[in-house]
Amino acid sequence: MKTRTFLILIFSLLVVLFAGQPVQATDIEEQIDQLIEQMTIEEKVGQMTQVYFVGQPSRFEEQVRRGEISSFLGSVLSIMAPEERDELQRIAVEQSRLGIPLIFGFDVIHGYRTIFPIPVAMSCAWDPELIEQVAAMSAHEAAVEGVDWTFGPMIDIARDPRWGRIAEGYGEDTYLASIMAAAAVRGFQGSDLSSTASLAACLKHYVAYGAAEGGRDYNTSEVSKRTLRETYMPPFKAGVDAGAATLMSAFNEISGIPATGNLYTLTEVLKGEWAFDGFVVSDWHSIEEMIEHGFAEDSVEAVTKAIIAGVDMDMKDGLYFDELPGLVEQGKVSEELIDEAVRRILRIKFRKGLFTHPYIDPNLAETGPSNEEKLQKAREVAASSMVLLKNNGLLPLPKDLESIALIGPFVKNRSDLLGCWYAAGEAKDVVALLTGVKEKVSPLCDVLYAEGCDIDGTSTDSIPKAVAVAEQADAVILALGESRGMSGEARNRSSLDLPGVQQELVEAIYATGKPIVAVVFAGRPMSIGWLNENIDAILFAWHPGIQGGNAAADCLFGDFEPTGKLTTSFPRGVGQVPIYYNHKNTGRPGSSKYVDMPGTPLFPFGYGLSYTTFEYDNLQLSDTSIAPDESLTVTADVKNTGERASQEIVQLYICDIFGSVTRPVRELRGFKKITLEPQQKKTVSFVINPTEHLSIFNYNMDYVVEPGLFEVWVGPNSSEGLEAEFEIIEF
């Protein structure tokens, strides 16, 4: 009897305790359902609203308390202090009606405070692991200061170096950029997105932003559906497959339909075919800009088209907040669409762990890489990103020269080595070339220097003094290039030449007859044909980040073997643009060119020298004809025929000789970075899997492997190598 009474008592107690309490949802989706059921329409559109942080957190407290803001976007112009971030988060979590946390976004593109080389430079290392390590280090550093979400990686394919944003992506090749995109997502997000050391990634700018006509940012992208699917979309698919939490819709129109109002790209492909379950944020004001595009009559139509197309969060222009409640009220936008957008946003906030740990993790600063480790990594990555374009034997320079002269506007320059999108990076942290060289050479070596001219000034007054300095030295290092403000967003150039009067400076120094190496710091490929014709050696250093001066000195004096290879074609002149390696054959191969300039680039995709030489030999195929469901192994011997150990980036290219549609003359389908001691030979092996490596969108836009003849190359770059043929036979 007693037991029965006891059980009744316990049961009654439980009923009283839990009556009316929602059952704690066991998983994220249930918790999201519960939240959405409770949310007002204002709170829902509040979750779809991202606000630009312009300092003074107090300005936003009321809106946060009312649940009208979902996310803050910081920028190099206004970096939110950690305490400000948690102050706003505390209001959202502890004072708003539903306690939904904020998510804080920032452009952590190639570093947060420790700035690494610009992404197009890093891609020249052809090393996905390096990309992943840089992203992971950058994520940790940014998370320590309260960032949850980065607007990166930027994975726009770029074939036009006039476009300032070529600096931010991974070059012209889809296959390589796809591999780098996935690596960056892995690095930013880590193995556990809810970790306080990770950042939610944001693949941008979806899609075909780099196809801007004339290389003019924001301009029209006129691309066929086939080019969209084969050239511009695959890096985004790779990023989605790697688990990217978010995407950003681009500013540009895609053949008449703005990317921010494009149902096909955002919903049919991204959310439908690819089953992406994160959320899409518009780019800055890109919803409102659809009015200027002429795609929307007013903000009501712009908002309607954006939400229907599949944009879930509105960056900065506030139109979702202003217009969506009324549109739902009038029945012009279904509340289901709003709920789906809110669901996606809440899903990422849950996955990021913001509901369980909304505030900055105080232990984070004590964990993760030390400052010394980060600087060492920045130095290694910068050196790995530099590309040796020419060397007639002058390099590596001896450290015990009696004297050496550094000449040019980049001798002492620090701020420009940060490159575009330098986040919280500071010039004071940058090692200039002069410092790197001084620390590298023997104490007995007299290091002279003169700037000679500005980066893009018109005055040649200081050139004579620079010539006089050069004449005193045993050898000259020219330090040339572009400022960081000449690349990045809206920073396009109509010329690819050295800016200002740098060419005059170069020719004046050349006239001294001294041995000369040119180090070029830039955010884009440049037409440096004169340097290539006349100067003894050229090291293309890009904008190499805070350890740039040390990394360049490591390469110049041989403490680091330059091994980088170009991921963008270098035009001979801007008149050649666009010029890229995976072009079509045309009906008159080799005839589509100019009467006043060869049709080939100055330096091709995949090109880069080292301090040794390599020989390719003995190309072998495991078979010369296979069915589409079989694989083919391609091997080649690579020998280091020089006196110095080094690394070689061995590349595999294919060509689908004919098909239901025309195909590029070459397509990268594999690469391997190998280390070889002097005189050492290795056999490098690649596996061609037709479905993975040979599928195309055929005449009917079906993604298939077409039987037929293929060429295959293994070589050091896209314009040379050992060649063979194989056939894909009908099933």
Cβ distance to ligand GLC smaller for residue 260 or 576: 260
107 binds ligand GLC (CB under 6 A): yes
CB 135, min distance to ligand GLC, A: 15
Q: Any residues with CB less than 8 A from the CB of 657 and at least 6 apart, and which?
A: 663, 708, 709, 710, 711
149 binds ligand GLC (CB under 6 A): no
219 binds ligand GLC (CB under 6 A): no
Kindly identify the residues of this chain, within the stretch 582-601, that bind ligand GLC according to CB under 6 A: none
CA–chain centroid gap for 347, Å, is: 25
Cβ distance to ligand GLC smaller for residue 198 or 249: 249
**Interatomic CA distance for residues 544 and 560, integer angstroms:** 15
Q: Any residues with CB less than 8 A from the CB of 11 and at least 6 apart, and which?
A: none
- List the one residue from 87, 241, 456, 489 that touches ligand GLC (CB under 6 A): 489
CB 54, min distance to ligand GLC, A: 13
Kindly identify the residues of this chain, within the stretch 610-639, that bind ligand GLC according to CB under 6 A: none
Cβ distance to ligand GLC smaller for residue 273 or 292: 292
Asked whether the beta carbons of 316 and 288 are under 8 A apart, the reply is no
Cβ distance to ligand GLC smaller for residue 151 or 542: 151
Cβ distance to ligand GLC smaller for residue 163 or 614: 163
CB-nearest residue to ligand GLC: 151
CB 204, min distance to ligand GLC, A: 6
Cβ distance to ligand GLC smaller for residue 74 or 545: 74
Cβ distance to ligand GLC smaller for residue 107 or 536: 107
204 binds ligand GLC (CB under 6 A): yes
62, 65, 71, 77: CA torsion to nearest 10: 30
Asked whether the beta carbons of 174 and 235 are under 8 A apart, the reply is yes
Cβ distance to ligand GLC smaller for residue 126 or 151: 151
Helix (H, G, I), strand (E, B) or coil at 150: strand
How many residues sit close enough to ligand GLC to count as binding (CB under 6 A)? 8
DSSP 8-state class, residue 582? S
Number of C-beta neighbours around residue 22 at 10 A: 11
CB 20, min distance to ligand GLC, A: 44
Cβ distance to ligand GLC smaller for residue 51 or 696: 51
CB 624, min distance to ligand GLC, A: 47
- List the one residue from 31, 63, 75, 415 that touches ligand GLC (CB under 6 A): 75
Helix (H, G, I), strand (E, B) or coil at 262: coil
**Interatomic CA distance for residues 176 and 172, integer angstroms:** 9
- List the one residue from 39, 51, 64, 73 that touches ligand GLC (CB under 6 A): 73
Asked whether the beta carbons of 143 and 126 are under 8 A apart, the reply is no
**Interatomic CA distance for residues 147 and 630, integer angstroms:** 47
Handedness of CA 487, 490, 495, 496 (dihedral sign): positive
- List the one residue from 283, 314, 536, 648 that touches ligand GLC (CB under 6 A): 283
503 binds ligand GLC (CB under 6 A): no
222 binds ligand GLC (CB under 6 A): no
- List the one residue from 284, 350, 603, 611 that touches ligand GLC (CB under 6 A): 284
CB 460, min distance to ligand GLC, A: 37
- Measured in Å, how far apart are the chain's first and last C-alpha atoms? 78
Residue type, 419: G
239, 216, 229, 168: CA torsion to nearest 10: -20
Helix (H, G, I), strand (E, B) or coil at 481: strand
CB 189, min distance to ligand GLC, A: 17
CB 260, min distance to ligand GLC, A: 12
Residue type, 688: I
Cβ distance to ligand GLC smaller for residue 251 or 686: 251
CA–chain centroid gap for 511, Å, is: 40
- List the one residue from 151, 449, 542, 686 that touches ligand GLC (CB under 6 A): 151
Phi, psi (deg, nearest 5) at residue 475: -155, 160
Q: Which of 283, 312, 317, 536 is catalytic?
A: 283
Which one, of 300, 240, 235, 290, lies nearest residue 262 by Cα? 290
DSSP element (H, E) containing 177: helix 174-189
Q: SS3 letters for 329-352?
A: HCCCCCHHHHHHHHHHHHHHHHHC
Structure-token pair, residue 526: 């440049």
**Interatomic CA distance for residues 127 and 158, integer angstroms:** 19
CB 65, min distance to ligand GLC, A: 25
Q: ∠ CA(270), CA(273), CA(278), 5° rounding?
A: 40
CB 420, min distance to ligand GLC, A: 10
DSSP element (H, E) containing 638: strand 632-640
156, 160, 161, 163: CA torsion to nearest 10: -70
Is residue 283 part of the annotated active site? The answer reads: yes
**Interatomic CA distance for residues 460 and 454, integer angstroms:** 9
Q: Which residues are catalytic?
A: 283
Residues binding ligand GLC (CB under 6 A): 73, 75, 107, 151, 204, 283-284, 489
